[in-house]
């Protein structure tokens, strides 16, 4: 519900600026909403793994609702300058940036593991339904209402959304029975480890086995990401807790803005990724999908106007059929459950994505192009829903927020970079050439992933290995 209201407001702001013919102001508005999401991705992931995820979901909604209400009143009072829109977008971007990793990481707390694929598929379909209905409703509201009045809609939907979330059994990591034990204030890491909080090596009492890369009694590849946090420490309760001794000079761990602890949390997540290549490859697979599918799709309005004409209904049809295809794809995946080998499914869908981009380049008319947009939407849950499910099934609860923040980074950064890099190509050679080149490069990139693709099976399937 909250997302629906936010989408209406987002589209309303875009339509307001577009109807006013202010291209530069439109660009400033987009940057204002997306930049905070990218900048907050990694810190928000650390917070999601250390603090109560329910409040990291609810609090940003409440703050954004309050700020939006104040700014909506300011707009109605006559303050209609660009700065009001910029402030609204920045506040909304901060809220989304903090909320997203916590929301995605909270899913395994309320959804049984065997139903994660179906949940993510249905959730993706609902998102596409929102993206289908919100533009139409926003267009109607912009015609009959002041922008300040439309902003207040976000306040109402936020309150309803918060009311739905509050009763859910979402707790802090470690309180649900699955998360890791966080280091308590005043505690120091066990002997033999490097304490990231002060950078000092703790004297070893027992040397690591097999060349000193691991911790005694624990395989080196299982504890490599924990080096620097605690020798033999556990995430998800896998290897037992490190012995801890009081440290009176330790910093207050409850300070979410402490840069030392934020950096330590990000470093810990990076070590985890390096020690779990299957998880790393799942996240990295989003990059070619973004560069060679999402970026060309972003130029679909240019393709349509260049090739078929500049009638508005053509642009609307292409966007709507993509969303409808994604809704159908999400429903099918929810009923089917997907392939047992999650990575094989993601690679297959990504390859089909690039084939669709290539064929789009030969589109003889707008209906052919729209049909291929629908196919692209149909395939979308095969990457987004399956990718989220892989992480939720295989990542320890105490790391899930940070892994989801990495997903935000690889989704947010390549897209604007790709659009900027493709702009000279589109202007010089045309949008068709952009689709041909991106499709071909995308096929090569996915083939490269296939060469060393790990097998990531669904839980409980024979041959399943930890990611």
Secondary structure letter of residue 123 according to DSSP: H
- Joined together, the tokens standing for residue 150 give 């439309």
Helix (H, G, I), strand (E, B) or coil at 35: helix
The reported pTM is 0.60
- Tokens 């060309």 identify what position? 296
- pLDDT of amino acid 41: 80
| Separation of alpha carbons 361 and 433, rounded Å | 7
| Separation of alpha carbons 442 and 436, rounded Å | 10
Radius of gyration from C-alpha coordinates of the chain? 24
Dihedral angle computed from the Cα positions of residues 394, 396, 399 and 405, in that order, rounded to the nearest 10 degrees: 30
Distance of CA 452 to the CA centre of its chain: 24
Q: Which fold has domain 2-171+277-451?
A: Growth Hormone; Chain: A; (1.20.1250)
Reading phi first (left if > 0) and then psi (alpha if -120 to 50, else beta), residue 51 is in beta
Secondary structure letter of residue 190 according to DSSP: P
Beta strands per DSSP E along 63-212: 187-188
- pLDDT of amino acid 174: 56
- pLDDT of amino acid 368: 93
- pLDDT of amino acid 110: 83
Residues 6+ apart with CB under 8 A from 278: 343, 394, 454, 456, 467
- Tokens 């407001």 identify what position? 9
Query: Which residues on neighbouring strands pair with residue 245, listed in sequence order?
Result: 188
CB distance 251 to 241 below 8 Å = no
- Tokens 């089917």 identify what position? 336
Distance of CA 250 to the CA centre of its chain: 33
- Tokens 């929301």 identify what position? 103
| Separation of alpha carbons 451 and 439, rounded Å | 19
- pLDDT tens digits in sequence order for the chain, 467 residues long: 677 777 777 777 776 766 665 556 666 776 777 778 878 888 888 888 888 888 888 888 888 888 888 888 888 888 778 888 888 888 888 888 888 888 888 888 888 877 887 888 887 777 777 766 776 677 778 777 888 888 888 888 888 888 888 888 877 665 544 443 343 333 334 333 333 333 344 444 333 333 444 433 333 343 444 444 433 333 333 333 333 333 434 444 555 567 777 888 888 888 988 888 888 888 888 888 888 887 787 778 778 878 888 776 776 677 778 888 888 888 888 888 888 888 888 889 989 989 999 999 999 999 999 999 999 989 988 888 888 888 888 888 888 888 888 887 777 777 777 777 887 888 788 889 889 999 999 899 888 888 877 777 666 555 545 55
- Joined together, the tokens standing for residue 428 give 């010089």
- pLDDT of amino acid 1: 66
| In the chain, where the domains are located | 2-171+277-451, 183-252
- pLDDT of amino acid 45: 84
């Amino acid at each position: 519900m909250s997302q629906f209201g936010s989408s209406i407001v987002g589209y309303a702001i875009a339509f307001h600026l577009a109807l006013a013919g202010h291209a530069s102001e439109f660009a400033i508005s987009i940057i204002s909403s997306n930049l905070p999401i990218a900048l907050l991705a990694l810190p928000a992931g650390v917070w999601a793994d250390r603090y109560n995820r329910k409040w990291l979901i609810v609090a940003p909604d409440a703050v954004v609702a309050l700020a939006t209400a104040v700014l909506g009143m300011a707009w109605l009072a006559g303050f209609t300058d660009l700065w009001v829109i910029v402030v609204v977008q920045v506040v909304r971007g901060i809220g989304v940036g903090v909320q997203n990793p916590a929301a995605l990481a909270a899913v395994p707390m309320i959804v049984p593991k065997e139903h994660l694929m179906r949940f993510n598929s249905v959730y993706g379909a609902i998102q596409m339904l929102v993206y289908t209905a919100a533009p139409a409703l926003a267009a109607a509201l912009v015609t009959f209402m002041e922008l300040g009045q439309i902003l207040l809609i976000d306040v109402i939907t936020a309150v309803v959304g918060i009311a739905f979330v509050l009763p859910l059994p979402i707790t802090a990591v470690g309180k649900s029975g699955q998360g890791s034990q966080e280091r308590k204030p005043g505690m120091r890491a066990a002997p033999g480890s490097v304490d990231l909080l002060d950078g000092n090596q703790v004297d070893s009492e027992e040397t690591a086995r097999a060349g000193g890369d691991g911790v005694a009694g624990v395989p080196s590849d299982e504890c490599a990401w924990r080096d620097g946090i605690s020798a033999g420490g556990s995430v998800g309760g896998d290897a037992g807790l490190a012995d801890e001794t009081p440290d009176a000079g330790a910093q207050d761990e409850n300070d979410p803005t402490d840069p030392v602890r934020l950096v330590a949390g990000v470093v810990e997540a990076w070590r985890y990724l390096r020690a779990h290549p299957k998880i790393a490859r799942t996240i990295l697979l989003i990059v070619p999908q973004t560069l060679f599918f999402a970026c060309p799709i972003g130029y679909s309005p240019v393709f349509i106007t260049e090739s078929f004409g500049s009638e508005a209904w053509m642009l609307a049809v292409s966007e709507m059929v993509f969303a409808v295809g994604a809704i159908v794809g999400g429903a099918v995946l929810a009923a089917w459950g997907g392939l047992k080998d999650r990575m094989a499914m993601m690679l297959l869908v990504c390859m089909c994505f690039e084939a669709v981009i290539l064929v789009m380049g030969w589109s003889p008319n707008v209906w052919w192009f729209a049909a291929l947009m629908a196919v692209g939407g149909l395939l979308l849950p095969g990457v987004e829903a399956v990718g989220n499910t892989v992480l939720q099934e295989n990542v320890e609860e105490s790391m899930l927020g940070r892994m989801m923040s990495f997903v935000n980074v690889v989704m947010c950064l390549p897209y604007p970079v790709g659009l900027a890099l493709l702009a000279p190509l589109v202007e010089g050679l045309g949008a068709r050439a952009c689709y041909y080149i991106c499709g071909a490069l995308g096929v090569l990139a996915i083939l490269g992933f296939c060469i060393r693709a790990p097998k990531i099976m669904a839980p409980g399937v024979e041959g399943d290995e930890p990611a």
